[in-house]
């Protein structure tokens, strides 16, 4: 897929970045090359290839999913400048 100068200008406008006329031609060539490489990846046969999250084999340890209230309200509120009845006290911001 070829990217022309008009497409580069449109992308720059959407991204709200300034791209000079001289840079547009260079960027259009670079973006075309990148899209060409992506198209090459689409030609690879990936049937039977398992998805992976890492390039090395890793066995992740999982913890039990237990619902808890945390039990640390007093510890957390100890860091607050002001608290009242178990909640943070903050200044009113809307009149």
Dihedral sign, Cα of residue 68, residue 71, residue 73, residue 79: negative
Radius of gyration of the chain from its Cα atoms, rounded to whole angstroms: 27
Contact 32, 39 (CB under 8 A): no
The pLDDT, as a whole number, for residue 68 is 83
Summarize pLDDT for 18-49 with one digit per residue, the tens.
999 889 999 999 999 999 999 998 898 989 88
- Which DSSP category does 41 fall into? H
CB atoms < 10 A from the CB of 24, how many?
Answer: 19
Domains of the chain plus CATH, in order, are 5-42 (1.10.20)
Please determine, for residue 16, whether its predicted confidence score (pLDDT) is greater than 90: yes
d(CA 92, CA 25): 54
pLDDT of residue 40: 93
What is the model's pTM?
0.50
């Amino acid at each position: 897929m070829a990217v022309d100068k008009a497409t580069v200008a449109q992308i720059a406008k959407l991204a709200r970045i300034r791209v000079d006329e001289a840079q547009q031609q260079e960027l259009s060539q670079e973006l075309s090359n990148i899209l060409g490489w992506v198209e090459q990846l689409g030609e690879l046969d990936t049937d039977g290839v398992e998805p992976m999250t890492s390039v090395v084999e890793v066995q992740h340890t999982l913890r039990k999913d237990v619902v808890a209230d945390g039990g640390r309200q007093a510890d957390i509120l100890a860091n607050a400048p002001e608290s009242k009845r178990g909640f943070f006290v903050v200044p009113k911001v809307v009149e």
